[in-house]
């Protein structure tokens, strides 16, 4: 199976759930910038205090801050990995490419999980995280379209994108993903 992966898709598409499952089954390291940021918030580190409000509003944390977190972790990874929720902007994608070139670990595939907005909103409201209020959700979806969706084109040009229909039960989606990565 392909070993160096990005997961792309709107908030609520099931990236986190599928990423954890795929990593457990295939021995990949899971790196979620959202999880790393939430851990900083919980521990009330200076970085967490700086980002809590941004996250609660559904805004994106600055590229430089996210990169500083990822950079440290990436260089420590051995074997296969899956980046979940990163990159989210073109500048992040470009910086990631430079980093990966330095460690000679190119991306093998980009898994794009697609789902329509109505289902996404329903799922996110049911999840009930502190950034899952309806107005904030709509803002996050808008930001996804504006800042993150252009990455699909970017990676399509490199022939890396595997598009997965994100509706259906967890197992069915997991099989679609594994099949696409063979």
**Which SS3 state, helix, strand or coil, does residue 50 take?**
helix
- Residue 170 in contact with residue 118, Cβ under 8 Å? no
Rounded-to-integer distance, Cα 165 and Cα 177, Å: 9
Instruction: Work out how close the CB of 83 gets to ligand AMP at its nearest, in angstroms, rounded to a whole number.
Output: 9
123 is catalytic: no
127 is catalytic: yes
129 is catalytic: yes
Handedness of CA 100, 63, 116, 167 (dihedral sign): positive
> Considering 4, 73, 123, 129, which one is annotated as catalytic?
129
136 binds ligand AMP (CB under 6 A): no
Residue with Cβ nearer ligand AMP (60 or 109): 60
162 is catalytic: no
Rounded-to-integer distance, Cα 77 and Cα 160, Å: 21
Instruction: Work out how close the CB of 44 gets to ligand AMP at its nearest, in angstroms, rounded to a whole number.
Output: 16
Instruction: Quote the tokens at residue 54.
Output: 């941004």
Instruction: Work out how close the CB of 7 gets to ligand AMP at its nearest, in angstroms, rounded to a whole number.
Output: 10
Give me the active site residues, please.
15, 88, 127, 129, 140
């Amino acid at each position: 199976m392909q070993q160096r992966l990005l997961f792309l898709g709107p908030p609520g598409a099931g990236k986190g759930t599928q990423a954890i499952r795929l990593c457990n089954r295939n021995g990949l390291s899971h790196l979620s910038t959202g999880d790393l940021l939430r851990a900083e918030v919980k521990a009330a580190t200076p970085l967490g205090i700086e980002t809590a409000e941004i996250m609660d509003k559904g805004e994106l944390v600055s590229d430089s801050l996210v990169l500083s977190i990822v950079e440290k972790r990436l260089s420590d990874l051995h074997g296969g990995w899956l980046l979940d929720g990163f990159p989210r902007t073109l500048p992040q994608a470009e910086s990631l490419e430079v980093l990966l070139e330095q460690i000679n670990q190119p991306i093998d595939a980009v898994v794009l999980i697609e789902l329509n907005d109505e289902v996404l909103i329903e799922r996110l409201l049911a999840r009930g995280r502190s950034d899952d209020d309806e107005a904030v959700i709509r803002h996050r979806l808008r930001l996804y379209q504006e800042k993150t969706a252009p990455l699909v084109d970017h990676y399509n040009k490199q022939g890396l994108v595997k598009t997965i229909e994100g509706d259906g039960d967890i197992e069915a989606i997991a099989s679609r993903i594994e099949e696409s990565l063979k």
